[in-house]
Chains A and B, each alone.
Chain A
Amino acid sequence: MIQAGVSGLVSGGVYALLGICLVLTYRMAGVLNLALAAVGAFAAFAMIELQEEGWPYLPAVLAGFAVGGAVAVVLGLAMNRWFGESDTPTRAGVSIAVLVGLLALGSRLFGGDARPFPAILPDVKVRIAGVVLTAATLIALAASVVIAALLTAMLGRTRTGHQLRAVAARPVTAELLGIPVRQLTTAVWAASGLVSTGAVLLIAPVQSSQFSSLSLLVLPATAAALLGAFRSFWLTVAGGIGIGVLSSLIGDNERIAAFSNIIPFVVVVVVLCVVQRREVWDAAR
Chain B
Amino acid sequence: MSGVASGLRLEAVRVDRGGFPVVHGVDLVAPAGEVTVLLGPNGAGKTTLMEAVSGVVRVVSGTVNLGGRVLTRASRVARVRAGLSHVEQGRTVFADLTVEENLEIAGAGGYDRARALFPELASRRNVRAGLLSGGEQQMLVLARAIAREPAMILVDELSLGLAPVIVKRLIPVVRALADEGVGVLLVEQFAADALSIGDSAYLLNRGTIVHHGPAEVLAEQPELLRRAYFGGGDEPADDAVPAYAATSADAAVTADAAEAATHPDPKRG
Spell out A's residues near B (CB within 8 Å).
159, 162-163, 165-166, 169-170, 172-181
Contact = CB atoms under 8 A, between A and B. Distances in A.
Contact of B144 (A159, A172, A177): A177
B267 to A, nearest CB: 12
Interface in B73-108: 76-77, 80-81, 85-86, 88, 92, 94-97, 101-102, 104-106, 108
Contacts of B148: 177-178
Contacts of A177: 80, 105-106, 144-145, 148
A172 B144 CA distance: 15
B94 A172 contact: no
20 contacts: A159-B105, A162-B97, A162-B104, A162-B105, A166-B94, A166-B97, A166-B102, A174-B105, A175-B76, A176-B80, A176-B85, A176-B88, A177-B144, A177-B145, A177-B148, A178-B77, A178-B108, A178-B148, A179-B106, A180-B77
Interface string B128-166: 000000000000000011001000000000000000000
B268 to A, nearest CB: 8
B72 interface: no
Contacts of A176: 54, 56, 76, 80, 85-86, 88
A169 B105 CA distance: 13
Contacts of A173: 88, 92, 94
A33 B147 CA distance: 36
Given A159-B104, A177-B144, 12 more contacts: A162-B104, A162-B105, A170-B94, A172-B56, A173-B92, A173-B94, A176-B76, A176-B85, A176-B86, A177-B106, A178-B81, A178-B148
Contact of A165 (B88, B97, B108): B97
Given A176-B54, A178-B148, A162 B80 contact: no
Interface of B: 54, 56, 76-77, 80-81, 85-86, 88, 92, 94-97, 101-102, 104-106, 108, 144-145, 148
A11 B56 CA distance: 45
A163 B76 contact: no
Contacts of A175: 76-77, 80
Nearest to B79: A176
Q: What are the 5 closest A-B residue pairs judged by CB atoms, nearest first?
A: A178-B80, A177-B106, A175-B76, A173-B92, A162-B101
Most buried by B among A172, A173, A177: A177
A165 B96 contact: yes
A154 to B, nearest CB: 13
A173 B55 CA distance: 11
Nearest to A175: B76
A163 to B, nearest CB: 5
A180 B96 CA distance: 20
A178 B144 CA distance: 11
